[in-house]
Amino acid sequence: MKKNTKNKFYSLNSILSKKATYNIIIGERSNGKTYSILKYGVEEYFKSGGQIAIVRRWKEDITGRRASDIFTAINNDKIVEKLSNGQFQGVCYWAGKFYVCTYDENGKPIFNANNCIGYCFALSDTEHNKSISYPNITTIFFDEFLTKHIYLADEFILFMNTVSTIVRQRDNVKIFMAGNTVNQYCPYFTEMGLTHIKEMNKGAIEVYKYGESKLRVAVEYADSISKKGKPSDIYFAFDNPKLTMITGGSWEMAMYPHLPCKYTPKNVLFTYFMKFNDELLQCEIIHINNSLFTYIHRKTTPLQNEDKDIIYSLEYDPRPNHIRNMRHCSLPFNKKIGQFFADNQVFYQDNEVGEIVRNYLVQCAHDAIV
């Protein structure tokens, strides 16, 4: 694994040298990931006429004012003006598309339908794009693909459908995915077989290959832009682990309550299990010193009785002891288990185990209302 050369802001040079189809970049907020990819898309347009697809999860993030602001930094730096030798002054948004444009004396954009540089795509609204052809798109950019909140049901497939709609039978499209280090548990990592994410060091690039196919996926954990930090870090210097993502690009991790006291097997009243994102957790309801609580820790050995043990998992399984959604199950024992979470009487082996459980419960809450 190779380290990036230090730059004031993030540069695509290292990951582009891997010549991968998918280029995934994770790292701290405001380090220049988005800017660099948008700049690449603009350069491709003026070099070859290639257009860019801007992909977001929710339609609200790719319409109106939010869409209009996407190229603001590019416009402020006069990138379009330089690349077009003054023919155009910026990029503007109108009705789901981006255009290179000039501006009148009031700052209102002037553009021609023939000068379309890109299109907007929302994964939550994929059905509306399937019948349209996009033969000139050569760059796909999925920004903020990592989230601390909910992913759409079968989101990876929705993204693949969007990619399919754009590329059709072509092989000249380069795909970028950028995200802040807010959550290590992401369906894209699992679905794409990206197994080394948690072990990656800042500045490293991993390239994944898939059998005899030409598919290559490059993943870069972008290094911090400065060992001394950014001037703005002064605003986030609180003793709070969640803020290290903003200031240094570390994975965001909340603090979760740890085991309050030692216990023995005789203190365990009931055991159930939780499977999420290739992680297997053992959950024990413990009674000790007049206290009743749940303790959740990693299970390091295989399950012994998958036909009888209570197992919570987002996977579909017809066996009655397999429960998909803890928040949407009317069985009496499930209500008792859920009450420990409602009463804040759940403790964790470490913060990472807490994050696994939080991600499972967030997805359960989402599935219960869709």
Which helix (H) or strand (E) segment holds residue 93: the answer is strand 90-94
DSSP line for 133-169 = --TTEEEEEEES---SSPPPTTHHHHHHHHHHHHHTT
**Per-residue model confidence (pLDDT) at position 4:** 44
pLDDT band at 122 (very low <50, low <70, confident <90, very high): very high
Rounded to whole angstroms, the Cα distance separating 203 from 220 reads 7
The model's pTM is: 0.78
Phi then psi dihedrals of residue 199, to 5 deg: -90, -5
pLDDT in tens, 270-326: 999 999 988 999 999 999 999 999 999 999 999 999 999 999 999 999 999 999 999
Domains of the chain as residue ranges with CATH: 13-248 (3.40.50), 265-369 (no CATH)
333-361: b (≥16 Cβ within 10 Å) or e: ebeebeebeeeebbbbbeebbbbbbbbbb
Phi-psi sector, 135: left (phi>0), alpha (psi -120 to 50), beta: alpha
Distance CA 240, CA 258 (A): 17
Chain centroid to CA 291: 39
Task: Please give the pLDDT value at position 200.
Answer: 93
Tell me how many degrees the CA angle 222-225-226 measures, rounded to the nearest 5.
135
Q: Tell me how far apart the alpha carbons of residues 190 and 218 are, in angstroms, rounded to a whole number.
A: 15
368 CA to centre of own chain: 22
Does the pLDDT at position 177 exceed 60?
A: yes
